């Protein structure tokens, strides 16, 4: 049995929820900034993590009043508190530990999604939570390098799961090992499991039960050796005592580093017989206890696992074809959505259900020796079989990763990139041209476009001829004009899909009002420009340069709703996309370094009369914008101290020439903040600076503001009378109300506190432009618009003999039967990747491209109809893909969400999540075409 490692909670004094939140936030920020390859992250169940997040945020003072779902956990008096989470319980992430192979360790479910099922925590965060809460089991994962350049860091949530097959004894074992481990480490692990010596064995890449390569480069990583998830590794015992009859083959391998085909064939047959006769069980003679435990058949267990998930999926409705889901193997929704669109393309459905093997190009060096085409064909037939439950696409994914290592593992990938590779790979595997001729393209030299285009297309077909070309490939007309000599170059190039840009801006303007906590200035409103996909630190940095921030100060951002602070935006990594244009944001200047600091929120209230059921009631209602100061005290605070803090914050608003009730001029109050010390803390330590001997400060003391402090029992304490001390609530936010009477309102200019502007206020014209959806036609026009080449792609002018930044114009010349359109939602730069959420209004019927085709000799109307599309929801890297597909024989739309399939209305097809669109050409004789496939009952073999 695999050991389940747990952590025990410490008996130390419990912190408040707010203190826990701050500790974890600080640890997480430090860990994120220093993450490197080899670091450890831990999986924690999303269920427990969400409970903890709600628990540590419940002390935010306004959360109970903002109408959020979290407020529902409080009772009607708002005094009930969310209970502290119990110990960490990751049991919902793992299989039954008792059934796990000890060499594989604790196995997590194969279909987990980050953000839905689990969260990844840095080791330091996990250790701290374990110290507080205990529990487990511990699910540690390493940070590895990834990507084509091996410079991106990712957490390897699913290490390689390999099936070790020992021959000739027939023992089997399943292990987990990082793809960044070396072949030498795999040798060591195998010898440890089967109780062998290193010199006794050689190990083979046994992918697909074929000896692909002898794994003898001990320093090579498994990733570099292209070892894939769930594949077999052959552990071959050399010079084994029971291996005399086959010793010649083993010694031949050992002596020559290669294997004679005939000897290998005999050897494998004998090994196979050995395995079969053993019934998949080892020969227990001389076997260690470890070998007996590890002798379970891993292949059969995987099949059982597939069947288990298949039964839990949505059953396809018996008689209907094409309504079969694909299981999510772990972030494989990007693959599932693209596959469903392709298998529901009528021409492909017909082609791969017939005998296509005769067209496989086994010799094409650009292809995958037919393996990708066969894997796709097998998967398509399973998906079109009637009455099936959901299919686990493991064999197809293994083949895909074999030839495209960038899609290996269980990370999220771009569905369009997968689609592009798959179409190109299927084309090369099914290319009818066995020997590609060399053809040199001729320049147009003033010849008619029709002649040149046909010549280019004929040359292309002479080298590329497949079902993919027949169905998906069209032709561009590309025109380049030299800006110096006006040389015109016209070429006609093939295309597989159109990648259309979405017009958008990469920046946004944000309007924020800045308040001071020390009474030095009146509130000021600033509008700054920030990255559209930036974070709060970008907004703070932009404000720093405009609001004259002193070196000892920092800005505290807060979102204000209904005259209350809804939330503080303290985390610099909060995305600016969470701040909407109609939100109201305030920034408060507070001191940088303050010991034992608490935020003093000053909420303004005025008395209002409300008529209800013939009764007139009066009550205090919030108005204006709250002010924030900092209190720096360890113990109780005198009421006079709090009075001075509030007076200082309000001093810039005092009207000049108005005498206070204490006969102190407001002008002296308005300058009081300037005379008080400005070092470190705006609140000062309540025993020193606030008890200054400054005469103006002393003159202000008799004047009392109507203040009330909300304590931890939600009871208001009067602060306008007496000099005794009060104890502040334990949370970092302290709420103080100031009740403005009509008499008091005359002495202050509270207009500066009212009408907090929206983050972005658009005019009538701009409002109309924002609500008007982007048309697919306008995206196409932007794609076809003439524009200069970027400097990195300058064109070599054959006439100037120089590289020139020519202007380029694209035109559609020849359109395919199936037009694939990719909406470029993902934007990349050197330091940023983000997604565009623009809604594109795309036609479902009568997508008319007639006027966009430059070949005017083609008089046929170019009409298309949408039949499938992929959707992307969420942010980049952690989103989710689905597909919407129309079954033409039923004339109904369905949503394909991995294994779950549901009927949807045509109106639901359009959304801002649309990513890749699939259109079919409309033909007059094709009106009643039933998805290009005969009825399932008549063709099922």
Give catalytic residue positions: 333, 880
**Closest among 808, 803, 782, 807 to 792, alpha carbons compared:** 803
Helix axis angle for 17-33 and 46-57, nearest 10°, is 120
- How many Å apart are CA 112 and CA 121, to the nearest integer? 16
Distances (CA, A) of 402 to 229, 230, 396, 408, 582: 10, 12, 10, 8, 49
Q: Quote the Cα angle for 212-217-221, to 5°.
A: 85
Residue 522: how many other CB atoms lie within 10 Å: 13
Determine contact, residues 375/369, Cβ cutoff 8 Å: no
Closest CA to 246 of 264, 272, 273: 264
Structure tokens at 135: 């529990």
| Angle value at C-alpha 829, between 824 and 835, nearest 5 degrees | 40
State both tokens at 490: 């016209």
Q: Which residues of 286-315 are buried (b: 16+ CB within 10 A; e: fewer)?
A: ebeebbeebbbbbeeebeebbeebbeebbb
For 298, how many CA atoms within 13 A lie in the half-sphere containing its CB?
Answer: 25
Q: Please report the DSSP string for 246-278 in residue order.
A: GHHHHHHHHHHSS--HHHHHHHHHHHHHHHHHT
CA–CA distance, 203 with 210 (Å, rounded to integer): 13
- CB neighbourhood size of 362 (10 A): 10
- Other beta carbons less than 10 A from residue 819's beta carbon: 22
Q: List the one residue out of 289, 316, 331 whose CA is nearest residue 415.
A: 331
What is the number of H-type helices and E-type strands within the chain?
A: 24, 42
H or E stretch covering 789: none
In 221-358 the beta strands, taken as DSSP E runs, fall at 232-237
State the Cα–Cα distance between residues 707 and 642, nearest whole angstrom: 9
Q: Which residue has the tokens 């303004």?
A: 604
Task: For residue 283, give the nearest of 163, 173, 171, 201 by alpha carbon.
Answer: 171
Q: How far apart are the first and last CA of the chain?
A: 45
What is the C-alpha separation between 913 and 881, in angstroms, rounded? 9
Q: Which residues contact 456 (CB under 8 A, 6 or more apart)?
A: 441, 475, 491, 492, 493
Sequence length of the chain is 941
Residue 124 token pair: 């330091």
DSSP 8-state symbol, 848: E
* CB proximity list for 762: less than 8 A, separation 6 or greater: 581, 770
- Count other Cβ atoms within 10 Å, centred on residue 117: 17
Helix axes 371-384, 333-343, angle to 10 degrees: 80
């Amino acid at each position: 049995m695999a050991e389940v490692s747990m952590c025990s909670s410490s008996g130390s004094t419990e912190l408040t929820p707010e203190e826990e939140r701050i500790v974890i936030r600080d640890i997480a920020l430090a860990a994120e900034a220093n993450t490197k390859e080899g670091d450890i992250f831990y999986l924690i169940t999303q269920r427990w993590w969400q409970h903890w997040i709600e628990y540590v945020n419940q002390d935010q003072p306004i959360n109970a009043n903002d109408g959020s779902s979290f407020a529902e956990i409080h009772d009607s008096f708002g005094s009930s508190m969310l209970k502290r989470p119990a110990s960490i319980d990751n049991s919902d992430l793992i299989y039954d530990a008792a059934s796990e192979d000890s060499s594989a360790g604790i196995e997590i479910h194969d279909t987990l999604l980050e953000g839905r099922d689990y969260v990844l925590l840095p080791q330091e965060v996990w250790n701290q939570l374990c110290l507080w809460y205990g529990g487990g089991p511990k699910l540690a994962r390493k940070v590895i390098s990834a990507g084509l350049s091996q410079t991106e860091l990712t957490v390897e949530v699913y290490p390689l799961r390999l099936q070790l097959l020992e021959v000739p004894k027939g023992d089997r074992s399943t292990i987990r090992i990082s793809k960044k481990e070396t072949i030498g480490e795999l040798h060591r692990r195998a010898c440890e499991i089967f109780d062998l010596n290193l010199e006794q064995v050689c190990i083979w890449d046994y992918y697909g039960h074929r000896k692909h390569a002898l794994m003898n480069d001990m320093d090579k990583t498994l990733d570099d050796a292209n070892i894939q998830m769930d594949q077999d590794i052959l552990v071959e015992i050399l010079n084994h005592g029971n291996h005399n009859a086959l010793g010649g083959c083993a010694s031949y391998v050992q002596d020559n580093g290669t294997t004679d085909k005939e000897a290998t064939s005999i050897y494998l047959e004998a090994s196979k017989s050995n395995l079969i006769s053993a019934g998949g069980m080892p020969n227990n003679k001389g076997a260690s206890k470890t070998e007996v435990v590890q002798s379970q058949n891993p292949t059969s267990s995987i099949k059982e696992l597939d069947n288990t998930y298949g039964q839990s999926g949505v059953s396809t409705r018996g008689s209907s074809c094409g309504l079969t889901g694909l299981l999510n193997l772990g972030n494989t929704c990007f693959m599932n959505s693209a596959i469903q669109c392709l298998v529901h393309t009528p021409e492909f459905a017909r082609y791969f259900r017939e005998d296509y093997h005769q067209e496989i190009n086994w010799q094409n060096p650009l292809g995958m020796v037919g393996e990708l085409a066969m894997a796709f064909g097998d998967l398509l037939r399973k998906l079109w079989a009637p009455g099936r439950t959901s299919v686990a696409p493991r064999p197809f994914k293994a083949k895909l990763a074999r030839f495209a290592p960038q899609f290996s593992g269980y990370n999220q990938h771009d569905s369009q990139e997968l689609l592009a590779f798959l179409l190109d790979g299927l084309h090369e595997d099914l290319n009818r041209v066995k020997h590609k001729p060399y053809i040199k393209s001729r320049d147009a030299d003033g010849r008619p476009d029709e002649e040149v285009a046909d010549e280019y297309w004929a040359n292309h077909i002479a080298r590329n001829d497949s079902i993919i070309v027949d169905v998906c490939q069209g032709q561009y007309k590309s025109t380049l004009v030299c800006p110096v000599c006006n040389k015109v170059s016209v070429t006609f190039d093939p295309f597989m899909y159109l990648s259309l840009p979405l017009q958008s801006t990469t920046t946004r303007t944000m309007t924020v009002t800045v308040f001071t906590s020390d009474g030095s200035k009146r509130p000021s409103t600033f509008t700054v420009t920030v990255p559209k996909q930036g974070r709060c630190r970008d907004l703070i940095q932009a404000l720093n340069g405009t609001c004259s921030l002193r070196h000892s100060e920092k800005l505290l951002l807060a979102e204000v709703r209904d005259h209350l602070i809804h939330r503080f935006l303290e985390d610099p990594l909060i995305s600016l996309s969470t701040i909407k244009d109609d939100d109201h944001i305030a920034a408060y200047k507070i001191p940088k370094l303050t010991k034992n600091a608490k935020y003093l929120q000053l909420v303004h209230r005025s008395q209002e009369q409300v008529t209800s059921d013939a009764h007139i009631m009066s009550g205090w209602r919030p108005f204006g914008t709250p002010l924030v100061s900092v209190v720096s005290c360890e113990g109780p605070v005198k009421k006079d101290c709090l009075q001075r803090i509030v007076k200082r914050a309000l001093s810039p608003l005092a009207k000049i020439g108005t005498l206070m009730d204490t006969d102190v001029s407001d002008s002296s109050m308005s300058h009081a903040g300037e005379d008080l010390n400005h070092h470190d803390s705006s609140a000062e330590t309540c025993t020193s600076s606030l008890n200054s001997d400054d005469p103006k400060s002393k003159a202000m003391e008799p004047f009392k503001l109507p203040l009330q402090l909300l304590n931890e029992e939600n009871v208001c304490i009067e602060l306008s009378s007496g000099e005794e001390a009060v104890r502040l609530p334990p949370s970092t936010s302290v709420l103080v109300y100031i009740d403005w009477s009509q008499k008091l309102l005359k002495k202050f200019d509270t207009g500066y506190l009212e009408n907090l502007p929206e983050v972005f206020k658009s005019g009538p014209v701009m409002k109309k432009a924002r609500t008007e959806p982007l048309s697919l036609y306008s995206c196409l026009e932007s794609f076809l618009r003439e524009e200069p080449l970027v400097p990195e792609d300058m064109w070599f002018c054959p006439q100037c003999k120089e590289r020139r930044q020519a202007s380029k114009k694209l035109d559609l010349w020849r359109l395919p039967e199936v037009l694939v359109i990719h909406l470029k939602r993902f934007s990349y730069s050197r330091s940023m990747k983000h997604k565009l959420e623009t809604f594109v209004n795309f036609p479902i019927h009568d997508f008319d491209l007639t006027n966009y085709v430059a070949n005017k000799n083609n008089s046929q109307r170019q009409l298309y109809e949408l039949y499938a599309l992929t959707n992307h929801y969420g942010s980049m890297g952690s989103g989710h893909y689905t597909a919407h597909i129309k079954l033409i024989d039923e004339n109904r739309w369905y949503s394909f969400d991995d294994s779950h399939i549901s009927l949807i209305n045509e109106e639901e097809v359009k959304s801002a999540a649309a990513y890749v669109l699939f259109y079919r050409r409309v033909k007059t004789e094709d009106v009643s075409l039933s998805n290009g496939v005969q009825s399932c009952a008549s063709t099922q073999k």
